[in-house]
Structure 1
């Protein structure tokens, strides 16, 4: 209930302020486990991805946000769960895998932190771990533009990242996340200067 209310408020406020255009959301499967992997340029990225996706998303968020009891409780009610950065957080890995096992959608920002330049950075291996340890469909997402009144923000969902060969070859998590980030970069390159 709170998640849906949050999505409604984001649609009313953010979509109007930043003139958000959504492309390719039909690429997101309507059922089954899905991982949406996006580049990260602003603290507003999670609500923007959440409001433009046709599916409810469970976001992995930095653990520091949950240190405040009130904020942590609110984030939990908004389907977010914590991950401790800079270390192997087994609890977060289990929680992410359980979300996918239950055929839900997991939202990740593989870069781990916001890009100061707006350019796509190299991703961390965590996204590759979830991709390899599940049967989830991997959807790349590119957030393009700036969060400013005079511009337009695009949220582009690409076609699923091919995973069959990577899984059969038992590719490393880093190889997988590099492929995912390449797909995000391609979306950004195609749509950055495209007015459509």
Structure 2
């Protein structure tokens, strides 16, 4: 049976903490042996307590690169259809959380259970690989922040895709990457409004903070975001 035909791996409970013990060292090899990654803002990561790391999404590498750059272990929410074959085995063994982007309450509950035991979750709330400017965002980060005691740390990942590279391209070894951790923010329910309105507003707050953080990271590192594949990279006269 081919790996493509194998069933997807699923979770019946939150992944145990011990599974992350080898994923961060593996991420560091990716960051500092395979690639040259400069990490900024580690001092912004709380040393204890639950954290939702919310990062922009450019490439397949974003999750592993973030794991290797952080000084806290984390369980990353990964698209559910990646959990098959050899890669699916690696993701499952390292404690990552499969999530169906069409809507997956079980995945959010597993992530909340991780946060409730004072551990960390990584999420790419744009939902799909794009230009990474946080122009849009799903509500998963807001839901987790509002339904747990976790703070949200915005993360800008730059260099995993550049210029007009295709979204499926894996960068060549030794490319210079940047991971920038922003200041932690606390998200609270607004009094006097419905839960839906409170979550929508929280999502907007997080998106705007992440977008501003990405823009600041570009200014600091000098590494720009990739071009939008849906529009020509260069227009006439430019």
TM-score (norm 2): 0.72
Q: Max radius of gyration: which structure?
A: 2
State the secondary structure of the residue aligned to 1:36: strand
> Match for residue 54 of structure 2?
37
> Distance between the aligned counterparts of 1:156 and 1:45, measured in 2?
12
Equivalent pair of 2:54/2:122 in contact (CA under 8 Å):
yes
> Match for residue 79 of structure 1?
95
> Distance between the aligned counterparts of 2:59 and 2:159, measured in 1?
11
> Match for residue 111 of structure 1?
126
Q: Shift of the alpha carbon at 1:151? A: 5.6
State the secondary structure of the residue aligned to 1:194: helix
> Match for residue 181 of structure 2?
157
State the secondary structure of the residue aligned to 1:143: strand
Q: Deviations over 1:9-31 (max 9, x none)?
A: 43234324442111111111111
> Match for residue 50 of structure 1?
67
Q: Shift of the alpha carbon at 1:146? A: 4.2
> Distance between the aligned counterparts of 2:109 and 2:160, measured in 1?
34
Q: Shift of the alpha carbon at 1:2? A: 6.5
Residue 213 of structure 2 is aligned to residue 187 of structure 1: yes
Equivalenced residues, count: 191
Q: Shift of the alpha carbon at 1:86? A: 1.1
More helix by share: 1
Q: Deviations over 1:7-57 (max 9, x none)?
A: 334323432444211111111111111111000111001111000111111
Equivalent pair of 2:133/2:214 in contact (CA under 8 Å):
no
User: Alignment partner for residue 167 of structure 1, among 173, 180, 189?
Assistant: 189
Structure 1 unpaired stretches of 5+ = none
> Match for residue 109 of structure 2?
94
CA change 1:131–1:3 in 2 (3 A) is closer
> Distance between the aligned counterparts of 2:221 and 2:77, measured in 1?
32
Q: How does 1:1-20 map to 2 (within 5 A)?
A: 3-20=20-37
> Distance between the aligned counterparts of 1:20 and 1:119, measured in 2?
20
Q: Shift of the alpha carbon at 1:3? A: 4.1
Deviates more, 1:37-46 or 1:177-186: 177-186
> Distance between the aligned counterparts of 1:142 and 1:81, measured in 2?
21
Equivalent pair of 2:154/2:209 in contact (CA under 8 Å):
yes
> Match for residue 135 of structure 1?
149
Residue 139 of structure 2 is aligned to residue 121 of structure 1: no
> Match for residue 203 of structure 2?
177
> Distance between the aligned counterparts of 2:186 and 2:149, measured in 1?
12
